[in-house]
């Protein structure tokens, strides 16, 4: 019992003998980090960021139910126009009941094919075309 008390007293004396830790000694002002920088701002991706375009072709396809065929035929020109602006080609296959999107040589944004995939998924799931086309904006996402 006395041995335990001696060890505890020795441990406490050793802690007092150590120099105090310097918390935050590496936290110094960085010359490149100042008040004028907005850390959470997302810079828009432009054509100048990727002037050479894509190296490989990517494509996605999805099936749609038969009852969506008439509506998709009506809105497909608007979908094609929106995708052509970003350099993505699209195809509506009424025989198979599928929609497909693929990158072209004019595609400069690497993430646009993912947005185009989400667009055809939304159209297949009965989301109205004007609402689904909003997915092509950078600020909009879907689950």
pLDDT tens-digit profile of 64-104?
999 999 999 999 999 999 999 999 999 999 999 999 999 99
| Of the candidates 104, 101, 106, 105, the residue with the CA atom closest to the CA atom of residue 136 | 101
Q: What contacts 51, CB < 8 A, 6 or more positions away?
A: 108
pLDDT value for 23: 75
Q: Tell me what percent of the residues of the chain surpass a pLDDT of 90.
A: 51
pLDDT value for 143: 77
Q: What is the mean pLDDT of residues 46-51?
A: 84
Cα gap 76→36, rounded to integer Å: 45
- Tell me the whole-structure pTM to 2 decimals: 0.72
Confidence at 49, pLDDT banded by 50, 70, 90 = confident
| Of the candidates 75, 62, 73, 59, the residue with the CA atom closest to the CA atom of residue 112 | 59
pLDDT value for 133: 94
**Edge-to-edge strand ranges of the sheet holding 59-63:** 59-63, 98-103, 88-93
pLDDT value for 34: 74
What is the C-alpha radius of gyration for the chain, rounded to an integer number of angstroms?
29
Distance of CA 123 to the CA centre of its chain: 20
* Bridge partners for 101 per DSSP: 60, 90
Q: What is the mean pLDDT of residues 1-25?
A: 63
* Bridge partners for 63 per DSSP: 98
* pLDDT of 131 above 90: yes
* pLDDT of 121 above 90: yes
């Amino acid at each position: 019992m006395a041995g335990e008390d001696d060890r505890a007293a020795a441990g406490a004396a050793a802690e007092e003998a150590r120099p105090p830790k310097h918390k935050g000694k590496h936290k110094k002002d960085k010359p490149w980090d100042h008040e004028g920088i907005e850390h959470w701002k997302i810079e828009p991706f432009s054509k100048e960021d990727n002037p050479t375009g894509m190296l490989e072709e990517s494509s996605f396809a999805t099936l749609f139910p038969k009852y969506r065929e008439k509506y998709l035929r009506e809105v497909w020109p608007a979908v094609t126009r929106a995708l052509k602006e970003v350099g993505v080609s699209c195809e509506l296959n009424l025989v198979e009941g599928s929609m497909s999107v693929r990158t072209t040589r004019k595609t400069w944004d690497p993430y646009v094919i993912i947005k185009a995939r989400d667009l055809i998924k939304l159209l297949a799931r009965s989301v109205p075309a004007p609402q689904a086309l909003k997915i092509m904006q950078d600020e909009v996402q879907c689950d």
